[in-house]
Structure 1
């Protein structure tokens, strides 16, 4: 028998069919959010709530939770990858009406969240949009929780670079461009296909003008970004029209300029473990540098690290501020204490303009603004001009928190609005507060009038106020009392007097709630006028937080201030790896520092040899990380550092298969190396580790050798650290200028290897010690012995780089000799003599090659 569809269920399914299957509909029914059908089955598992049915005759599954508990359940649904549509009651219950009007008031998706329970405090939550055509690709990123908005357009490489840095939680795209999208960004992002009308240029342009209240987009320098404008407008359309989120706090949009910051491609971000690592337990660079206190500081620090500066003046300004906090310990401590009491103003601002904020959060905002004013005054008193300048930048916000303090109670009482602010509110509260006394007086009177000494006046949600008497005293009950309930040993009654008082109390409570909500709403309106001040001050506080984080890091780890200049030189004395140093320190070990000196005259390329486990890779990585740290404004782990500004950092280190994309280790290595070589600049810095090891020995040596030659002859002269096992490459420096050989020293005492991890300016002649390391690892003696036999045979017939260069020299010499012969004018005797000389040269060639 088919279950009869009720008006409520019909209403639910009419709304449900408008949304995709991965959207969960939370359907408000009275004091509950109810979930039906397949949604109920999914939610019961994710939320660990009971799965039932609406009634015995129903075949429709049902799950639900109290509406006031949504803050507990919503994060779990979003983190599970679902969109959530909040379907609320749009009117109060009408007695004569069979069904209440309901409608979706808000859609929450992984990229559209302002709920602080869902968001990670120090992690941005970007929604991305991408518009693809045959000529260009437009991209846009928006974090509605902070108001940050970015736009740009370019090639697929340009797009990939920014997607890796912003790492959006949701990507909007045109439905019919799915294949193109996957080619550009892959399938690792949560994507949301939209209809064509969302990506209409004219609508997008108008949306942006309306959002920023301008007549053109020239002021943002994005007027000519056709596809970028479409992408940015699509985001606004989605957030406002589809998700129904208020975004008046988004007052600016930033153009993504490819060459404005140091280029860190995705291989470098991954290989250097700057933000995250494939190993979940690994420590990354940001873990070392992040001593920030505020969520805003933590989020901004990540942006600084992924977008290092190229402007020397800006970098030096950051270094000066860090230096000022290092030298002014008392100021550092005072500001540090105040930062601890500053809430996430950026995200509070987005909740304010969306009217999703509660009184407690406004109180936190008030206290935060007070602390910001105190920080402003502390910096103003400083005699250091860079700190005074920060104080001048902080905008005055006393009027905001003073206004809040006049209205809201700062204590933890139940009263939201301060006494004295509203006379009407105070009068209503008196009625509520006097209720207990009024009821007590009725109770005393009725005890006297009836002689029932154990009479009680109680309250519940069913009867309201009622009189409870023991059954043995029921004969004494007056006739005007109305019996409402008989229990085992007592009876409950109501009276007109109690009912009238109840109506008065409930009416007063409703009026109090209405008045308080009205006052609070007007307060939010007032604060909303100052969103630009709130956003600006939160950014300044985030920067102060980072500078103090850098100062703490420098003091705790003995870092120094690097010197930045316009030269093409690099000199790092006693450089250390910031992450490894921290890790071995916990084992009471000290990190072995090393020097690196490079320039374009005699040491553009440094070839580093040494066995496995000797520390070659660490030296490569630490040099790149020191440059990166210097250009974000941090101090660096060294005793001295002079760095010619770098505009691109490339790395090719480590090895890992990309099986899902059909790539072997070697293919991945070649892809990364090719990407580096095709994007070189005059100020590029490269670290290349074990290039060519993924193929045969001969192929590997040939490739590594050819790459070194190419980098040396390249017009851009990129500074390169090249670590290798191929000791044959050490001889290249004898034939090519501007290359130096270094080795990581290893001592062998009896059968023990001692890794000194010290970089020496010489050629390593020790081999890789691979067989010895295999022995230490526990490899059977039979394998070790045979490996040593084979090694001696291989060494006997090995051809080195010297062979190739000699061969090239002599062949060129013979070729030139023959080419210059005037055959037509040679006499027979002269021809015989010339032939004899050619024979002599060829004999000499083979003699030299045998040496």
Structure 2
């Protein structure tokens, strides 16, 4: 029971912690020895297996690990670099970073300049606590970034090919392991998530050949998969299929709005690079690296953990499109006009648990892949009752959280039509009951 508390202390000090469980009872051991013709002294010991390796970048906060100490994301980042000879494009990076507590993967590939500007911005926006790279791969410029900006992160070099997989091996393993199988039985039914599928070659219908501009990105994903396999969390995280393509903030992919004004055609967000974030002390101060005295500390009055994470991303890439900014200002005005409802909603939001992390936890517990061949499925837990109660409590807490969200929607229901802000209408109106509504109606699921 104390494992979660003590392991977290070691993990925060950058140690790796392996959890070993007994995977058979003394009775099972006796039966096994009887079935053997000449059991050795080593056979006459109950079997034990490593069920989990926990590092700073691979914490999932399962029922055994205890609760998270903070709400902000801790990323595991893997990257691969390729130097270019073409003028203006000095290098190319393939990156994959994941918040293992939520199970969301970001995969991307991009060109960078000789100062590694985009790479610096990436590590400032999504600060990794652990970094994986291919031995002998990073250039001297990238090593400088790792040494200066990321000296506090754990940095681990992996062997080329055997540990840091190439793109073809990554796609082959993803297909063979059946991570994305829909019903948990038929491996032929496995379909790659759309983001990964888009990175494969169009001419290969099986999805086993990488696309022209995705080799480095898929290789970086391969390193992440290898490392999670080593830590025994690959099945529970990859089976969620929660992938998003990472596009550097200064590449504007958003289609311009129908308006012909200059602002409608410009980027939707400002580019705050790593140097700017540091100099302006937006996320952490220059004295001791904490949030004390920063803009984030000043603005962060969020009630929910996932709200705190979203605000941090907003601060890293603030809006610069007047239409979107005015819509947010309208949202503030709309909410200020209904102070009684606002305070009632605020009290409800304070009750919300960290739904993002809880959903990932519940998915892990119910994962069919994990129940088939993971060492945890064989583990003999002598405190099983306590852990089962924790699992039930987490599940009920999640359901209660969704009920609270439903209450928030119902409180705001009669005010939605009076709102000027489009974003507020989208967030607070039900999808089926309002033309602009985007919130799903979960009432039938919650009543079951």
CA contact (8 A) 1:207 1:236 kept: no
1:384 aligns to 2:418 (yes or no): yes
Among 263, 286, 295, which residue is 2:271 paired with? Answer: 263
Structure with the largest fraction of helix: 1
Alignment of 1:395-410 (within 5 A): 395-403=440-448
1:196 equivalent in structure 2 = 160
Structure 1, residues 242-280: CA drift from partner, whole Å, max 9, x if none? Answer: 433411334231322332432212222122111110234
**Partner residue, 2:188:** none
Distance 1:235 1:374 in 2: 39
Q: Does 1:296 align with 2:285?
A: no
- Cα distance, 1:174–1:284 mapped onto 2, change above 3 Å: same
Residues 216 and 343 (structure 1 numbering): CA distance in 2 closer, same or farther, change over 3 Å? closer
How far does residue 342 in structure 1 lie from its aligned partner after superposition? 0.8
Secondary structure at 2:18 match in 1: strand
Work out the CA distance in 2 between the residues paired with 1:215 and 1:298.
Answer: 28
Q: Give the TM-score normalised by structure 1.
A: 0.37
Q: Flag the 1:141–1:215 CA change in 2: closer, same or farther, 3 A.
A: closer
SS in 2 for 1:119: coil
Kindly indicate whether structure 1 or structure 2 has the higher relative contact order, using CA contacts under 8 Å at least 6 residues apart: 2
Q: Secondary structure at the match of 2:77?
A: strand
Residue equivalent to 2:13: 80
Structure with higher Rg: it is: 1
Aligned pair partner of 2:326 in 310, 316, 323: 316
Q: CA 1:279–1:167 in structure 2 vs 1: closer, same or farther (change >3 Å)? A: same
Distance of 1:140 and 1:114 partners within structure 2: 18
In structure 2, what is the Cα distance between the partners aligned to 1:235 and 1:310? 34
Indicate which of 168, 171, 179 corresponds to 2:131: 171
1:232 matched to 2:221? The reply is: yes
2:346 maps to 1:336: yes
**Aligned-partner SS, 1:358:** helix
Q: Which runs of 5+ in 1 are unaligned?
A: 1-67, 404-851
Q: Give yes or no for contact 1:369–1:398 (8 Å, CA) kept in 2.
A: no
Q: Deviation of residue 179 (structure 1)? A: 6.4
Give the structure 2 partner of residue 139 of structure 1: 95
The whole-number CA distance in structure 1 between the counterparts of 2:74 and 2:55 is 11
Shift of 1:221: 7.2
How far 1:294 moved relative to its partner? 0.5
Q: Give 1:112 deviation, angstroms.
A: 0.5
Query: Does the residue aligned with 1:278 lie in a helix, a strand or coil?
Result: coil
Provide the rounded CA distance (Å) in 2 between the counterparts of 1:90 and 1:365. Answer: 31
Within the candidate set 82, 92, 103, 2:25 is matched to 92
Work out whether residues 96 and 221 of structure 2, in 8 Å CA contact, stay in contact via their aligned partners in 1: yes
1:312-461 matches, cutoff 5 A: 312-355=322-365, 358-382=391-415, 383-385=417-419, 386=422, 387-390=424-427, 391=429, 392-403=437-448
- After TM superposition, give the deviation of residue 173 of structure 1 in Å: 1.1
**Structure 1 range deviating more: 345-354 or 177-186:** 177-186
Q: CA deviation at 1:168?
A: 0.4
Local SS of the residue matching 1:277? coil
TM-score, normalization: structure 2? 0.68
SS at match of 1:314: helix
Indicate the structure with greater strand content: 1
Cα deviations by residue, 1:270-291 (Å, 9 ceiling, x for unpaired):
2211111023484111111111
Task: Show structure 2 runs of 5+ residues with no match.
Answer: 34-43, 85-91, 181-190, 201-210, 253-268, 366-386, 430-436
Residues 220, 253 of structure 1: 8 Å contact kept: no
Say if 1:380 and 1:388, in contact at 8 Å, map to a contact too: no
Match of 1:125 among 57, 74, 92: 74
Matched, 1:272 2:291: no
Alignment of 1:558-569 (within 5 A): none
Structure-1 separation of matches of 2:70 and 2:277? 22
1:253 to 244, 253, 257: 244
Q: Distance in 1 between matches of 2:137 and 2:20?
A: 31
Q: Distance in 2 between matches of 1:199 and 1:167?
A: 24
State the SS of the aligned residue for 2:101: coil
Once the two structures are superposed, what CA deviation does each residue of 1:388-420 show, in whole Å capped at 9, x if it has no partner? 3222322223344434xxxxxxxxxxxxxxxxx
Change in CA separation of 1:388 and 1:310 when aligned onto 2, cut-off 3 Å: closer
**340-349 vs 81-90, which deviates more?**
81-90
Q: Does the CA contact (< 8 Å) of 2:303 and 2:350 recur in 1?
A: yes
User: In 2, Cα distance between the equivalents of 1:369 and 1:326?
Assistant: 25
Q: CA deviation at 1:92?
A: 1.6
Looking at structure 2, the residues matched to 220 and 335 of structure 1 have their Cα atoms a distance apart, in angstroms, of: 41
- For residues 342 and 232 of structure 1, the distance between their equivalents in structure 2, rounded to whole angstroms, comes to 33
Summarize the Cα distance change of 1:322–1:219 in structure 2 as closer, same or farther, 3 Å threshold: farther
Q: Deviations over 1:507-527 (max 9, x none)?
A: xxxxxxxxxxxxxxxxxxxxx
Equivalenced residues, count: 336
Aligned residue runs from structure 1 range 558-707, under 5 A:
none
Q: CA deviation at 1:296?
A: 0.5
Cα deviation for residue 85 of structure 1 reads 1.5
Q: Is contact 2:80-2:134 (8 Å) kept?
A: yes
Distance 1:380 1:70, change over 3 A: same
- Tell me the distance in 1 between the aligned counterparts of 2:193 and 2:12: 40
1:472-511 aligned at under 5 Å gives the runs none
CA change 1:119–1:154 in 2 (3 A) is farther
CA contact (8 A) 1:93 1:100 kept: yes
CA distance in 2, matches of 1:171, 1:305: 23
Alpha-carbon distance, 1:207 to partner = 5.5
